[in-house]
Structure 1
């Protein structure tokens, strides 16, 4: 039994970095967002998105100067509201529209950490 514990600890040590890295992976499928999704803005090149238990870092194609000051945001794909896809999605604001370059899945902890950092 005591010989098993060191092996299990070694296996866990090797597995944890792979699990953490798997969280920050590019999204490959379209996602239909719930009405209560949360968008956290922090700049002109990306934003954070929480949709239920799923968390994303959404990257924009180039800088989107309209994003930080917009009072209204809506994610669309091919005219369909609240749909985020790996390609062809846009963020529409009351100030204009910007193209989304892609998104990546992030952990809830990373979302919370980045949200706190952006709110300072």
Structure 2
């Protein structure tokens, strides 16, 4: 074995290892992928924050956090006692691309898109809306 090639071999191994680890570390800090095409199965453990919001609501579904944006103003979301997401007649499913609606006491509001949020961002936005 040529001893002069050992440092170069270790350097190459270190570079390969770093390249393999970097995407995994980045994925841990990244919120779930945008949900324009996919749907979210809603659990019983959910929270909808709607204070002062007629264009969107904040949604916590278990340990996942989202901003749900409507296609138009949804003033009934601010005052309604009942809020429920529905997709083509199916309860507890939320999809973007105008496939889902937020059902309220008086109206339905079409969901334009669902934006994933970090938990800290969700908490900060919810606090700001509560003021």
Q: TM-score under structure 1 normalisation?
A: 0.79
- Partner of 2:48 in structure 1? 39
**1:94 counterpart SS class:** coil
* Structure 1 spans left out of the alignment, 5+ residues: 1-7
Flag the structure with higher helix content: 2
Distance 2:118 2:91 in 1: 25
* RMSD over equivalenced CA pairs, Å: 2.2
Higher strand share: 1
Q: 8 Å contact 1:25–1:106 — kept in the other structure?
A: no
Segments of structure 2 that go 5 or more residues without pairing to the other structure are 1-17
How many residue pairs match? The answer is 106
Q: Tell me the TM-score normalized by structure 2.
A: 0.72
Q: Distance in 1 between matches of 2:124 and 2:49?
A: 12
Q: Which has the larger radius of gyration?
A: 2
Mapped to 2, the partners of 1:32 and 1:19 lie a distance apart of 22
Aligned structure 1 segments of 4 or more residues deviating by more than 3 angstroms: none
Partner of 2:34: 26
